[in-house]
Structure 1
Amino acid sequence: MGLEEGRSTRVNGPIDIQPFVIAIPEEQLAALKVRLRETRWPAPFAGGWDYGTDLAFVQNLSEFWEQTFDWRAREAQLNRLPQYRAMIGGLGIHFIHQPGTGPVPLPLLLTHGWPGSFVEMERLVPLLADPGSYGGDPADAFDVVVPSLPGFGFSDAPRGPGVNSRQIARLWAELMGALGYERFGAQGGDIGAGVSTWLGFDHAARVIGLHLNYIPGSYRPPLGEGEPPQTAEEAAFLERVAAWNEEEGAYGHLQGTRPQTLAYGLSDSPVGLAAWIAEKFVAWTDSGGDGRGVAPEALLTNIALYWFTNTIGSSVRLYRENRLAPMQFGPGERVRPPLSVALFPRELPLPPRSWVERVYDLRRWTPMPRGGHFAAMEEPELLAADIRAAFRPLREQR
């Protein structure tokens, strides 16, 4: 990985923006194959997925990774996206910046989550930046910006505590200003939904609108005096969340309490890393539990990115930072920019509309026909169409 020599861009002040090209050293590719071949496997067990990532699934994935998966081909495809790095708030931040093809493209900031990366947006970016080439209206074009969260991929990792989703929103606001965008839209799922929400809360004058395909898990609106009483539907939702956390939430509790302990094993074993990440892609995609919601090449591109950049440890630390700074609002606090929500059927537990309306200015609430938690990878066309529709009436407000 490295910077493209001889070019730099300086926009809106002192922030230096340098083009970036992915170039993983050949010795890292060779070392990975050795580690994959020398994996020490756990003893067979008949419990299947109920006990964690299935042994046969991980063995097949590992074999595919070692013998078939072509990182260089995927690297070349990713390098077709215009990528940069900039020093923002003392951190080197990697991002895609794809100018739109249309009469007046609207700036749009896309934020990924965990265990994803900027790779999630690979197929979504061209659909948003150049809709005319994909059967859409060029008037719906966006200037698309996709940063890598701090400690993910090619963005620097914070060296100490305190960088949570709210702090990241401040970094993103500074990045968009450096790119010359005073006002912009924000979109995200998973952790990206939290970052986008904080952008809308703390930088409301700059955010034209929000589009989310997930509502942050720690989101809690104000309740009590002066607020509407909790409904039976909202109470049932909180019970569903508690039941889901009891059955599925061990990863989040560990990452939110002792992430550094987890980092040793996942940073040392590519198979361990693959098992930890792949479990979520199997469970959270609209795949019927067979892991086919995302193609193996796309899944391994994402996993390999974590491996080559050695960022699994820094990525899971964000769970602890966010647990210490949850998204909870007080009386009278509201997220002012208009919100649109795309509801994918295999998403993690989502609140009822009334729960969202307690804080957000909800304008659109759109059930989607298929798709899960990784909507940008699973159903980029559906997600792109809903984002275009959501921002269409807001474009005059830029």
Structure 2
Amino acid sequence: MSASNNKRIYLSPPHMGGNEQEYVRQAFESNFIAPLGPMVNGFEQDFSKFTGFAHCAALASGTAALHIALRIIDVQPGDVVIASSLTFIGSVSPATFMGAEPVFIDSDYKSWNMDPDLLAEAVEYYISKGLKPKAVIPTDLYGQCADYDRILKILEPHGIPLIVDAAESVGASYKGRHAGKGALMAAYSFNGNKIITTSGGGLLASDDEDIISRARWLSQQAKEPEPYYEHKEIGYNYRMSNLVAAVGRGQVEVIPERVERKREIFDFYERELGSCPGISFMPEAEYGKCNRWLTVMLVDAKAFGATPDEIRLALEKENIESRPVWKPMHKQPVFKDNTVFGGKVSEDLFNRGLCLPSGTAMTAGDLQRVAELIKRCGK
């Protein structure tokens, strides 16, 4: 069957819930087309209610949220910011915006997230050098929460703030609380491929009202409360627009359904492919519930008969999008001189991992098509 006869199956495309157009209509009718308006306030309130965070600031992207978070804790040039290595660069680039030095921590196999033992080693190393890390930013990889409590136990004696990169984990939970809850701040993404989307956008959440008030102020060019434009600090044009927030309000309403469907998709792939020689799947940590934003499998090429990239190319030939696991930050050319603690686990996951199509609007036929093509790649 040729690609031309098959509809395109994307990795994780947007999926509207039904009420987005109504909220957008209300935004148009109110004429709040400018960056701020009632939909922004409503979206922040909706997200606070869903996550349990007391305060939220809707922003232009998850990267912007992390940038503002680091600005709020006064990260300075030369400071050390510790982050996950197995992540997207947007988790890490904000530290470079501030002139700080990103230091990378490897994953563990049980969660694929930041290894708390290696984190403890890194913190003790920098404390012993008299260089207390300014922040730790673990990424909730593919919708699975990092082990927040273990991380906090390491950080709290030194007063190091925890900022969770929860860009991928909307709707996931850690010990019964929403992803990111328990950190000083948590950053979320609503990019087009995330579990919910505002087309582009992000959010910073905290239980500290002063933090979120400052985040909103910094995101609106740090304008002083004068009738004219006066600025005592440099701010950013990072606020979410009213129209984008209107889409977000409709999306928040369907988060539980999206998580349930993502998990069903994971279960399907695991049932269909888990018995194939050399195929295994990302584990679920015992402390939480993963949203399974993307279903990720590991391939032992020798046992299965094809490499992850050979599978990816075979799927692409049939008009199906898949993607390698994130390339670790410590293997990125731009960070070739940065320090990493460990590294072999995330390198292994990158070398053997493949993200499968996981869109919540996929049909049973779509899923079967993907699974059958993958099986054909094997011995």
Same fold (TM > 0.5): no
- Normalised by the size of structure 2, how large is the TM-score? 0.29
Higher helix share: 1
- Normalised by the size of structure 1, how large is the TM-score? 0.28
Which one scores higher on RCO, CA 8 angstroms, separation ≥ 6?
2
